[in-house]
Amino acid sequence: MDKLTYFKSYIEIVEKGSLKHAADFLNLTPSAVSKHLSTLEQYYGIDLAIRDAKSLRITGEGRVFYNKCKDVLASLALAEAPFISSSQQATSVLRITLSQVLSQGRFMQMLSDFSCAHPHIKLDIVTTNKNIDLVQHDIDFAFRGGKLADSRMRSMKLFQANTVLCAANNIPRELTPQKMLHTITDKLIIPSYINLSTLRQYLKKIGINKPLSQFTAFDDAFGYKNAVLSGMGIGIFLDFFIQPELEKNNVWQILEPHSFAYKTMDFFMIYHKNIKLAQSHEVFKNFVAAYFNS
């Protein structure tokens, strides 16, 4: 048993007044915090709390144990103080996650600028297209496109992106509208970061009735971009993701026979709702907000 971790859990149970609030503060699940409490009770052979479906009450023995836990952690901090340098005390780590399409360009420049401005705050960056559970994976901030579905989280809108349809230079630009629509039907490649139901409705609206299962698809954003750049087909891109290639004329935007107004996508910064942000969290949140507002 990791006594220090369990002591910390018990302290938060007492101070927050419930397993759920303690779990939110510690970035743990309520079941994990409940297990910590039960393990302590079994180990010491005492009842620390009386709990039912609606309430939790600390026992007399639990109050004594709470004070002892506080004393233990205070003594540990006092014992460690002479051996921890000021630079170690000042350093903190933020764990963030972002999708592949955000891992380039302006967004990565923002993270670089933050690291230069705040060298004492280190970033542990997880790049993934999966909507991983922020609590389970100990994530402080997530950057994602689309609506927020998790009621445990808060979100801050950063910017809005448009979808554009692009082709490499091996596909002729001077095609009749009918031939261009036929080329899109034949050459379109589907990326993983779009909503298939919305895309299906849009394609049907512009006269493409080909089932989505018959299109080539990619689940890797950079592999998808490289496939289009190599001439494999026509791609659907978020504007900021393909902008460098458009500026270099490596691809061109298809505007006929339809301007590809498939959808817009809002991008958000997401963080924990019920946890008081530490100083480093507030610094990061305010920096990101100011960066995109400017």
Cβ atoms within 10 Å of 279's Cβ, excluding its own: 9
The residue whose two tokens read 């836990």 is 69
Q: Let me know: does 251 contact 242? Beta carbons within 8 Å.
A: yes
Domain at 86-159+266-293, CATH from 1.10.10.10, 3.40.50.300, 3.30.70.100, 3.40.190.10: 3.40.190.10
pTM: 0.61
Pairing of strands 92-98, 121-127: parallel
144-187 residue pLDDT tens: 887 666 667 788 899 888 889 999 999 998 888 889 889 999 99
Between CA 224 and CA 237 the distance in angstroms is 9
Instruction: State how far the Cα of 24 lies from the Cα of 151, in Å rounded to an integer.
Output: 12
Average the pLDDT over 185-206 and give the result.
Answer: 86
Q: Residues 205-253: pLDDT tens digits?
A: 888 889 999 999 988 889 999 999 999 999 999 898 999 999 999 999 9
Give me the chain's average pLDDT, please.
Answer: 85
Residue with tokens 């689940």: 219
For domain 3-83, the CATH architecture is Orthogonal Bundle (1.10)
142, amino acid identity: A
CATH 3.40.190.10 region(s) of the chain?
Answer: 86-159+266-293, 161-264
Fold of the domain spanning 161-264: D-Maltodextrin-Binding Protein; domain 2 (3.40.190)
